[in-house]
Amino acid sequence: MVLGDSLSAEYGLERGSGWVALLERRLAQDKIAARVVNASISGDTTSGGRSRLPELLKAQRPTHLLIELGGNDALRGLPLAATRDNLLAMTRAAKAAGAKVMLIGMQVPPNFGARFGADFAAVFADVAKAEGTALVPFLLAGVADRPDADSLFQPDRIHPKAQAHPTMLANVWPVLRPWLR
């Protein structure tokens, strides 16, 4: 199950063209018997995910939970401590329900300042280390950090175009694949 925000919910994209849909096709291509539940909502924050997660765990009973939340926390200026606490709570709840957990990290644009950017990125790594979970450091690596990054984003410059989503999956897949064994 993927618990995410607009980056996983296919905001502004044709249905079936986002990285989560591509993941489902990749699993089938590699003959890995898995059903992917995309529990992502555009605009969601870690507090929103935290409040939705107990019911999702109960209803879906995932064996693996990929948490792709936090970007909207930063965009809204929410305290890093709250983001950290919410990620910890979700990770612990999922583990208690028997699911393996992967955190999918995010980074903020340079205009947020170097210190905040480093502190924000560290939240994901710190929670993953503390809880012994899998970590993808930056979902948009190879997308947002390219010299021609603007060409891979929708006009809002926040949401990637469909052509960026294979790269996003390529960031997740090397961490996810061995984790499925």
**Active site members:** 6, 156, 159
Query: How many CA within 13 A on the CB side of residue 107?
Result: 18
Q: Which of 130, 120, 51 is nearest to 80 (CA)?
A: 120
Give the alpha-carbon dihedral of 119, 124, 129, 130, to 10 degrees: 90
d(CA 107, CA 120) in angstroms, rounded, equals 7
What backbone torsions phi and psi does residue 64 show, to the nearest 5 degrees? -135, 135
